Amino acid sequence: WVQEEAPDVLCLQETKCVGPAVPPEVRALPGLPHQFWASPEGRPGYSGVGLLARHEPLSVTYGIGEEEHDREGRVVTAEFPALYVVAAYVPNSGRGLVRLDYRRRWDAAFRGYLARLDARKPVALCGDLNVAHQELDLRHPRANRRSAGFTAEEREGFGALLAAGFLDSFRHLYPALPHAYTFWTYLGGARQRNVGWRLDYFVLSRRLAPALCDSKIRSRVLGSDHCPITLLLAL
């Protein structure tokens, strides 16, 4: 699928492996020779993100510059001539919302990080953001009011990011499209029945809106409990 899609930049979330353990078939993906991997400190098999690029970035950084949040290997940022691309795997609030307080601190810190980038150059954030922003973004909103990913606190955190000068590219183009999900639990045939959540996003600096051609959910692509998403920009 990656070879068919032929992206200029490929962002991977929840890779669960350190750089040397990346499978050789991923390292050898044609057209994506520049590869950057973040992984958590001392926690193999947890978290992790990767950013693979057709063209060499001007610079690459890891984390968001705050020790509390950078131990888990959740962010890679690549600077290109026209924009920053940020690959991110946002913390899950966990069963019983045991990490909700941490998640709220993360949301505020990450929003500040993106705003600082945006002050220098436009930003395209790609990632599993672990939040369904609107009721439209999951099949059963009423039953999930206090479920991780749909709490008022997490939804407000995402809303604050949009208010800080960013847009949800998919909803910008398709504001009322129902049943558009990127994640389905493996339990109960959820994917076959399309009982899902939209947790994966391309979030853009608002001034990139004129360059936005499309934001696609590739729901037919199998191989994970998430599906890929694709952003098309004319830069």
Residue 70 is among the residues annotated as catalytic for this protein: no
Instruction: Write out the binding residues.
Output: 14, 128, 130, 225-226
For residue 60, give the DSSP letter: E
Structure tokens at 124: 């395209």
Total residue length of the chain: 235
Residue 89 is among the residues annotated as catalytic for this protein: yes
Q: Where are the beta strands (DSSP E) in the chain?
A: 9-13, 34-38, 49-53, 59-62, 75-79, 84-89, 123-128, 166-168, 200-205, 212-217, 229-233
Query: Residue 88 in 3-state DSSP?
Result: strand
Cα–Cα dist 127/146, whole Å: 22
The vertex-54 CA angle with 28 and 21, nearest 5°, equals: 35
Helices (H), the chain: 2-5, 24-27, 67-70, 100-118, 152-163, 169-173
Residue 179 is among the residues annotated as catalytic for this protein: no
Single out the catalytic residue among 69, 118, 201, 226: 226
Q: Would you say 190 and 222 are in contact if contact means Cβ atoms under 8 Å apart?
A: no
Cα–Cα dist 57/153, whole Å: 35
Single out the catalytic residue among 69, 84, 118, 128: 128
Single out the catalytic residue among 84, 89, 113, 181: 89
Instruction: Write out the binding residues for Mg(2+).
Output: 14, 128, 130, 225-226
Indicate which residues carry an active-site annotation. Answer: 89, 128, 226
